[in-house]
Amino acid sequence: MKLQKLQLLSKNILKKERIKKLFLSFLLYPTFLLSDAHIFVYHRFGDSRYPTTDTSIKELKKEFEYFKNNGYKVIKLDTLVDALKNHQKIDDKWVILTIDDNFKSFYQNGLKIFKQYHYPFSLFIYVKATEDKYPDYTSWKELKEISKYGNLEFHSYSHPHMTYKSDKYLKNDFKKGLELIKKKLGITPKYFAYPYGEYDKRVQNIAKKFGFEAIINQNIGAVNKYSNIYDLDRNALVGKSNLKRDLNYKKLNIDIIAPKEYPKNGILKKIMAKLYNNSVKSAGYYLSGYGWNKLKVKHGLIDEKIDKKLIKKRSRIVINVKNAIETKLLIKDKYGTK
Ligand SMILES: [Zn+2]
């Protein structure tokens, strides 16, 4: 009898311990409890000559209907950046729409759909294309008109591959582009998006010197309250998109310790990272040219030998835990310290 009682007692304790453990792991699972906003980028609209950067008007309407019918709130980039700065709540239903490269097709085909849905947008200007009157790009006059409906932001003067340019070239590029926007439109852009989404620490540091309130990359992912306002993830929408999947992405709260930059000899030796969640047992990673593989996680730490030669000059490592992801862009820097 006594033994039975004892067994029952220990069973109860065990049960309580299990519940406590479950509760604790729940608390330690912030990644999956935090709300995430999603930033998207478009390029061309209804311009079938360029299928890799185009969104057809039919597809655009389909996407806008999806946002509308599923409770998504298309908000200004300002709202998100303000919330991040002031440590306010990020809404899981927030969607931010951006457009890179001020192609004429936005002015001619896309803008009216944005107006129809009253969706705000941020257009990132490739300044030289407008200044030198490239035929496929909007004029200053058209940009002025566009500015009535959305915000105009900065996408560089000459649209260079920035990691291949010297500090001097880059500083000059920022200065020239920002001055022209001020002169022609009377605007001081608040945000910057990297041409081709290419950057590293050196390029980021130069960009930050120009006083932008936030900087946007082009890494797949989402934005939560731990996101760095100078490194906001953004998903491209092109062709037939998979909005449901994209909107399901969460930001993975992880500190990637290695690699920090494109490896000197082009060989990715290892991946080291710290997850802010000790209960995660396994993760995955994607490496450009190699596809997806598994990563072991021990007490929230990843320390995995990889030893793979990077195939592309612009390689991505995406680490995932379920639908939470974080991207590390590895790109050759011609003028960096390496
Ligand atoms: Zn661009």
Name the nearest CA neighbour of 186 among 150, 147, 155, 157: 147
State residue 33's pLDDT score: 64
- Token output for 194: 């990297």
For the cut 50, the answer to whether the pLDDT of residue 10 exceeds it is: yes
Question: Tens digit of pLDDT for each residue in 269-291?
Answer: 999 999 988 889 899 999 999 99
Same domain for 242 and 278, yes or no, is: no
Q: Is residue 318 part of a domain?
A: yes
Q: From the CA of 102, how far away is ligand 1's center (Å)?
A: 9
Q: Is residue 145 part of a domain?
A: yes
Report the domain count for the chain: 2
Q: From the CA of 22, how far away is ligand 1's center (Å)?
A: 46
- Phi and psi (nearest 5°) for 21? -60, -45
Same domain for 209 and 291, yes or no, is: no
Angle 98-102-108 (CA atoms, 0-180°, nearest 5)?
100
Same domain for 298 and 314, yes or no, is: yes
Q: From the CA of 247, how far away is ligand 1's center (Å)?
A: 23
For the cut 60, the answer to whether the pLDDT of residue 13 exceeds it is: no
Tell me the CATH number at 110.
Answer: 3.20.20.370
Q: Are 256 and 304 in contact (CB under 8 A)?
A: no
Q: From the CA of 223, how far away is ligand 1's center (Å)?
A: 21
State residue 11's pLDDT score: 56
Average pLDDT of the residues of the chain: 91
Q: What percent of the chain has pLDDT over 90?
A: 84
Place of tokens 């396994």: 282
Q: Is residue 27 part of a domain?
A: no
- What is the Cα Rg of the chain in Å? 23
Q: From the CA of 104, how far away is ligand 1's center (Å)?
A: 13
Q: What percent of the chain has pLDDT over 70?
A: 89
Angle 183-185-191 (CA atoms, 0-180°, nearest 5)?
100
State residue 17's pLDDT score: 56
Residue 131 lies in domain: 34-250
Tell me the CATH number at 305.
Answer: 2.60.40
